[in-house]
Amino acid sequence: MAGTRVLALDPGSKRIGVALSDELGWIAQPLETFERRSVEADIAHIQQLVRRHDVGRVVMGLPLQLDGRVGVQAEAVQRMIETLQRALSVPVIAWDERLTTKSAEQMLIEADVSRKKRKGAVDRVAAALLLQSYLESCSSSGEAPGEGDPGGQASADKAGHQTSEGV
């Protein structure tokens, strides 16, 4: 049986930020940032996180352009989502991540975190902001955040939110 926690991934070209929800699906917390090595190594690490933390769903940040269009980065993330869907036993959902990294950087600056420490923290904080947005959306719609994919196939609409249509 799949777990109830939600794992969020904020993928970048060099690092992936990771955040995890509490068991009730109310609160997102930054978990870690890991350096990207290869697709295979990244997937193996994500599989390990899913098992270790009893995850029932993975939310992947989709870096849409400011006008909502899918650009080169978002296309790469969509390919990674497809790969993860084949590799994991839990649903993988695309979620709009526009401006989460900028918001995370601003939060860390306001918290007076040094530039050196910000570099390591910004990706996991961005993942937590992404996850909190997802959890709040589930809460307002009455959907349980960690219990499968009600649409049957996780994908993203123009706003980067889950739909039942194909990617």
Instruction: CATH number for 5-141: choose from 3.90.550.10, 3.30.420.140, 3.40.50.970, 1.10.3720.10.
Output: 3.30.420.140
The residue whose two tokens read 């123009």 is 158
DSSP tag of 26: -
Query: Over the chain, what is the mean pLDDT?
Result: 79
For residues 115-147, one letter each, b for 16 or more C-beta atoms within 10 angstroms of the residue's C-beta and e for the rest, the string is eeebeebbbbbbbbbbbbbbbeebeeeeeebbb
Q: Are 19 and 59 in contact (CB under 8 A)?
A: no
Q: Which pLDDT value is given to residue 100?
A: 66
Q: How confident is the model at residue 159 (pLDDT cuts 50, 70, 90)?
A: very low
pLDDT tens string 58-91: 999 998 877 878 888 889 899 999 999 999 999 9
Model confidence at 3: pLDDT above 80: no
Instruction: Write a three-state SS string for 3-27.
Output: CCEEEEEEECCCEEEEEEECCCCCC
Question: What is the strand order of the sheet 15-21 is part of?
Answer: 28-35, 15-21, 5-11, 55-62, 92-96
Q: How confident is the model at residue 2 (pLDDT cuts 50, 70, 90)?
A: low
Of the listed ranges 22-26, 34-38, 43-47, 99-103, the one predicted with least confidence: 99-103
The residue whose two tokens read 């352009």 is 65
Query: Which whole number is the average pLDDT over 42-71?
Result: 91
Model confidence at 47: pLDDT above 80: yes
Model confidence at 108: pLDDT above 50: yes
Q: Which pLDDT value is given to residue 164?
A: 31
Domain boundaries, the chain: 5-141
Query: Which whole number is the average pLDDT over 121-136?
Result: 87
Whether pTM exceeds 0.85: no
